[in-house]
Amino acid sequence: MPARIAVITDSSSCLPDLVASRWAIGVVQIQLSLGSHYDDENRFDRKEVIEAMRAGQVIATAPPDPGAFFWAYQEAATAGATAIVSIHISGRMSDTVRAAREAAQQVRIPVHVLDSRTTGMSLGFAAVSAARAAAAGADADRVIEAAERRCTTSTEFIYVDTLEYLRRGGRIGAAQAMLGSAFSIKPLLTVKDGEVAPLARVPGTKRALAKMVDLAVKKSGGFRADIAVTRFGASDHELEIGRQIERRVPAMVESMVVEASTVIGAHLGPGALGITVSPVG
């Protein structure tokens, strides 16, 4: 009987429900706490979280409990999986990988846990590539290879209104050096070596977003690529950014506008926007 490989990721992948369902990707929820409310992040109202952040309320995040991974793995095994590829947010940003590995030891089928060293739709596109390979009948090694190739070639470009939320959450990484910039200077960030890193300082929101689009277009370099625009809370910018990219990246394979996971948004802050460029093939 041929191997059937299940693919599981976590909610920081920002995968829309329809995409995860289409490719049968299991999504384990990262935890969020707001006041006395502690639960899976998808059980929080996004607008309420954004309002709470703007009001200065304390918001914290935590990796899934190993038990959540155990039951996700058990469900996959019960559904007929003979092995699992479980790919997650960078271990330098979260202990999610550690929780997944702890659960993997308790499951009767092989579970390959991968540290993506990234997050957001770079992780999401990696999960989709892995699931496509699995659906085509690839073995575990080929599925892992598909995921790892996407992780290493995808790039995150991130705009934030302020670095304060990253500082509060302890996820600021090398971008610490950008703290103290003038209020009118807007930071552009990326993910490098598994953590948030500085990319550029640009005066004003309009110029910063234009710079981010230019960087994304340059990164696509004429290669076939999937591109996602990620937002945390609706703004006046994400649809126009998507239109600009569609005009300027003729080799684009797939484009989408997605909501940042609430956990990612809790660290980046209201108004955060991102562009993921993920080469195909």
- Please state the domain extents for the chain: 3-28+63-151, 153-277
In single-letter form, the type of residue at position 233 comes to G
In whole angstroms, give the CA distance from residue 144 to residue 197.
26
Which CATH entry fits the domain spanning 153-277: 3.30.420.40, 1.10.260.40, 3.40.50.2300, 3.30.1180.10?
3.30.1180.10
**pLDDT tens per residue across span 225-236:** 999 999 998 777
DSSP summary character for residue 30: P
pLDDT band at 175 (very low <50, low <70, confident <90, very high): very low
Q: Could you tell me which CATH class the domain 3-28+63-151 is placed in?
A: alpha beta
Measured at the alpha carbon of residue 122, what is the angle toward residues 7 and 160, in degrees to the nearest 5?
A: 140
- Supply the pLDDT for residue 174: 45
In whole angstroms, give the CA distance from residue 143 to residue 133.
6
pTM, to two decimals: 0.92
**pLDDT tens per residue across span 98-145:** 999 999 999 999 999 999 999 999 999 999 999 999 999 999 999 999
What is the maximal distance between C-alpha atoms in the chain? Answer: 62
Task: Return phi, psi of residue 117, to 5°.
Answer: 60, 25
Structure tokens, 176: 């610490």
In whole angstroms, give the CA distance from residue 237 to residue 220.
20
Count of beta carbons in the 10 Å neighbourhood of residue 266? 28
Structure tokens, 157: 């470009």
